[in-house]
Amino acid sequence: MKIHVPSFIFILSLAFLIGIFTNRIWTNQKKSPIPLTTEPPEDHPENKSPSYILPPHRESVTLNDGVNEFHLNFSRFQEEFPYEQDYVCKVILTPNIYHEPSKSLIILAVKSHPATSGRRNALRQTWAREWQLDGYVLRPVFLVGRTEVSGQMELVKIESKEYGDILQWDLKEGYHSLPLKERCLLEYIVHNLSKVAFIYKGDEDMYVNPSVLVNLLKTFGSNPLVLHGNVMTRQTVGRSGRNIISKYIFPGPFYPKFLSGGGFVYTGPSARLLYEVSQKIPVFPLDDVYFGFLTLAANLTLRHDGRFKVFGLRFEPCEYQKAVVIHGLSPELLVERWHKVESANCSNI
């Protein structure tokens, strides 16, 4: 059979071009990325939980307070405190906190530990309970991590069922893990309590005056970008002891301003700003200093109020009635003084 050469060449060329075109289509299909979303599929088990959140992306940052610069090198924090940098908040127990549209919600958040059930019970007998004051509703929540002591963990579960005031994560309890409670609380507020008006955050050895707290917020709480507490200025960086910080991760001699971690107040709108920057900057291993870096990064204002008695106060019932918070009370002393202050007849308070 004779083959017409030009027609044969044409057919081969056409087949070659079709092959190239088909191959390019296949190659492009293989390289096309699957669209990414911040939400899981509808049938994903996490879709039933509001805690489905993408991991943070931390990086080195330089912050400026108008006088000094503070450089936080992420890789160095990763070397010395890897757990604090890598931890992703995972909730174990959630509190029963609900918002009444007709009233402004204030959260009384208390850092606690699975082992300190006695302290929590003393707080519940005194100020860490529900209050309704001047259009505000105040609800307590205890911020708890985990330990390897099964009995402690079981007791926390029992308390959670009975009182509904436990917010527990699977983070390991420890001194340098305290900043994680700050970050995880911000995350929980943003994704579960977006309508909250104010957040009081403090330690579990504090005396808190709910009525004075509400009065403070009614007087000074109109600006959502202002935080209230005892402002610490030019605090020296510790190079020994429990608060030791190496020059490798923070060479400067002083910290920026921060609110004493014993007790302070911030607003619901500021919580979102704080949460956003918490996803980016390194986690500093001291909780109150870490929160100070967050406020600096979020460009928030710290307001000093002398009624935050973070260094304690000599007991005198009428003086206690004036304070917002008082630091350093044992559970027994807290209950005893609470009843004495409640029954005291004081004028000009």
The reported pTM is 0.84
For 117-135, how does the pLDDT look when each residue is reduced to its tens digit (9 = 90+)? 999 999 999 999 999 999 9
For 10-28, how does the pLDDT look when each residue is reduced to its tens digit (9 = 90+)? 433 444 343 433 333 333 3
> In the chain, what are the domain boundaries?
73-306
Q: Which residues have a Cβ under 8 Å from the Cβ of 140 and sit 6 or more positions away?
A: 107, 108, 109, 110, 123, 124, 128, 129, 130, 165
Question: How far does Cα 332 stand from its chain's mean position?
Answer: 29
Give me the CATH topology for the region 73-306.
Spore Coat Polysaccharide Biosynthesis Protein SpsA; Chain A (3.90.550)
3-state class (DSSP) for residue 188: helix
Residue reference for tokens 């106060």? 313
Task: State which amino acid sits at residue 65.
Answer: D
Judge contact between 73 and 104, C-beta under 8 A: no
d(CA 108, CA 127) in angstroms, rounded, equals 9
- Confidence class for position 32, pLDDT limits 50, 70, 90: very low
- Residue 343 half-sphere exposure toward CB, CA atoms < 13 A: 6
Judge contact between 256 and 52, C-beta under 8 A: no
3-state class (DSSP) for residue 142: strand
Q: What pLDDT was estimated at residue 54?
A: 56
Q: Would you tell me the crossing angle of helices 287-297 and 178-192 to the nearest 10 degrees?
A: 50
Which residue, among 104, 96, 149, 142, has the nearest Cα to 122 in the 3D structure? 142
For 294-329, how does the pLDDT look when each residue is reduced to its tens digit (9 = 90+)? 999 999 999 999 999 999 999 999 999 999 999 999
For 181-208, how does the pLDDT look when each residue is reduced to its tens digit (9 = 90+)? 999 999 999 999 999 999 999 999 999 9
For residue 50, list its beta bridge partners: none
Write the Ramachandran bin of 211: left for phi over 0, alpha for psi from -120 to 50, otherwise beta.
alpha
Judge contact between 197 and 227, C-beta under 8 A: no
Mean pLDDT of the chain, nearest integer: 87
Which residue, among 338, 342, 320, has the nearest Cα to 125 in the 3D structure? 338
DSSP annotation string for 212-244: HHHHHHHHHTT-TTEEEEEEE-SPBPPSSSTT-
d(CA 72, CA 75) in angstroms, rounded, equals 9
Listed in sequence order, the DSSP H helices in 128-171 are: 150-163
Q: What pLDDT was estimated at residue 92?
A: 97
Q: Which residues have a Cβ under 8 Å from the Cβ of 220 and sit 6 or more positions away?
A: 226, 228, 303, 305
